[in-house]
């Protein structure tokens, strides 16, 4: 018998199903990986934009009308996302965390619900205004009122008997004595800052330039964006423990086990630099994996 006939092969419909399944599940897998990460980008402000993007990607697949096998999967995922995260989208804390994130700012609201943008923008303005007021050591509970003082006729000195000249001098006196001090409220300043914040370039960096060099936006980002709760780091640590305490090491003492786990968990601080130096010594280029571990 021909050996090729003994091997089980996929039929064309099965191959088509696998390709379609991969296309449908790729966005979901990518978002799960991003939200379960433990790097500097895994903060609260990432949640709503990423969920909104996932829903938009899945809906776009449905709009194409090319799903032959996996449409029920997409419908089920969309229903599950609505059930799980619809209440979350209504929470102000999550909304503000995304609005003060330099990657999303207020643009994610347009993707979610453009009708909500004015109300959310006003809430952002209020938070910025409150922060400006808190940072101002001379902040007053009431803003200064514009004052106008009118000149008294007795204070005007006429140096001419000409009627027109006296009228001009009188008008000049009123003009000089009238003081109008234009003032901006904290809300006015905040509204201008938020307008600039919306129109500024978005990016994935977290340096000062990403926040327009403005300490107000940096503080509000730190206030609203907490780290996402994830078990990824703990799971990796448990996996290292399972690899360390094997059957051949069943007599390993607790002290030695703790020391090995400590060294393995902090390998990027000692093992990676050591390997890099050895590669440099023998004239080898730095391996991409070592570079990634060094940035851990």
Quick one: 117 and 150 in the same domain?
A: no
Q: Tell the residue number behind the tokens 């630099």, with chain if given.
A: 273
Quick one: 39 and 73 in the same domain?
A: yes
Instruction: For residue 145, name the pLDDT band (cuts at 50, 70, 90).
Output: very low
**Is the model more confident about 141 or about 96?**
96
Instruction: For residue 10, name the pLDDT band (cuts at 50, 70, 90).
Output: confident
Quick one: 188 and 70 in the same domain?
A: yes
Q: Which residues, listed in sequence order, are joined to residue 227 by a DSSP beta bridge?
A: 43
What pLDDT does residue 70 have?
93
Containing structural domain, residue 252: 232-294
- In this structure, of 48-57, 85-94, 151-160, 219-228, the range with the lowest mean pLDDT score is 151-160
Span 33-72, pLDDT tens digits: 888 776 666 889 999 999 999 999 999 999 998 899 999 9
Instruction: For residue 86, name the pLDDT band (cuts at 50, 70, 90).
Output: very high
d(CA 235, CA 262): 15
Q: What angle, rounded to 10 degrees, do the helices at 92-99 and 215-224 form?
A: 140
Query: Mean pLDDT across the stretch 79-91?
Result: 95
Q: What is the pTM for the complete model shown?
A: 0.66
Quick one: 134 and 99 in the same domain?
A: yes
Mean pLDDT, rounded, of the chain: 80
Instruction: Please tell me what DSSP assigns to residue 103.
Output: T
Quick one: 171 and 201 in the same domain?
A: no
Domain boundary among 172, 206, 224: 224
What pLDDT does residue 290 have?
57
Quick one: 149 and 273 in the same domain?
A: no
Q: Is 161's pLDDT higher than 80?
A: no
Q: Tell the residue number behind the tokens 């129109």, with chain if given.
A: 199
Quick one: 160 and 247 in the same domain?
A: no
Quick one: 192 and 214 in the same domain?
A: yes
What is the percentage of the chain residues whose pLDDT exceeds 90? 42
How many domains is the chain built from?
Answer: 3
Quick one: 59 and 192 in the same domain?
A: yes
Cβ-Cβ contacts under 8 Å for 189 (sequence gap 6 or more): 129, 132
Span 103-113, pLDDT tens digits: 999 999 998 99
Quick one: 154 and 276 in the same domain?
A: no
Q: Is 173's pLDDT higher than 90?
A: no
| HEC readout, 164-194 | HHHHHHHHHHHHHHCCCCCCCCHHHHHHHHH
Q: What angle, rounded to 10 degrees, do the helices at 47-64 and 12-35 form?
A: 160
Quick one: 28 and 90 in the same domain?
A: yes
Q: Is 144's pLDDT higher than 70?
A: no
Q: Which of 61-70, 161-170, 251-260 has the highest mean pLDDT?
A: 61-70
Span 183-217, pLDDT tens digits: 788 999 999 999 999 998 888 788 888 899 899 99
d(CA 34, CA 30): 6
Quick one: 151 and 116 in the same domain?
A: no
């Amino acid at each position: 018998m021909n050996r090729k006939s003994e091997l089980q092969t996929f039929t064309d419909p099965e191959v088509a199903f696998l390709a379609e399944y991969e296309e449908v599940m790729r966005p979901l897998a990518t978002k799960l990986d991003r939200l379960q990460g433990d790097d500097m980008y895994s903060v609260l402000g990432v949640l709503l934009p990423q969920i909104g993007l996932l829903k938009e990607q899945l809906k776009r697949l449905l709009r194409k009308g090319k799903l032959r096998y996996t449409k029920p999967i997409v419908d089920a995922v969309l229903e599950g996302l609505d059930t799980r995260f619809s209440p979350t989208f209504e929470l102000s804390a999550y909304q503000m965390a995304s609005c003060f994130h330099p990657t999303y700012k207020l643009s994610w609201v347009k993707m979610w619900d453009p009708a909500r943008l004015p109300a959310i923008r006003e809430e952002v303005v209020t938070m910025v205004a409150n922060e400006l007021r808190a940072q101002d050591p001379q902040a007053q509970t009431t803003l200064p009122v514009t004052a106008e003082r009118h000149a008294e006729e007795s204070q005007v000195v006429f140096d001419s008997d000409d009627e027109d000249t006296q009228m001009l001098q009188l008008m000049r006196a009123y003009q000089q004595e009238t003081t109008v001090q234009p003032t901006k409220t904290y809300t006015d300043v905040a509204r201008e800052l938020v307008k600039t914040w919306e129109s500024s370039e978005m990016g994935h960096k977290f340096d000062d330039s990403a926040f327009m060099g403005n300490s107000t936006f940096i503080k509000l980002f730190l206030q609203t964006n907490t780290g996402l709760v994830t078990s990824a780091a703990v799971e990796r640590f448990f996996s290292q423990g399972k690899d360390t305490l094997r059957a051949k090491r069943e007599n390993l003492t607790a002290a030695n086990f703790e020391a090995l786990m400590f060294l393995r968990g902090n390998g990027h601080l000692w093992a990676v630099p050591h390997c890099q130096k050895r590669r440099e010594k023998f004239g080898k280029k730095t391996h991409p994996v070592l570079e990634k571990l060094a940035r851990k």
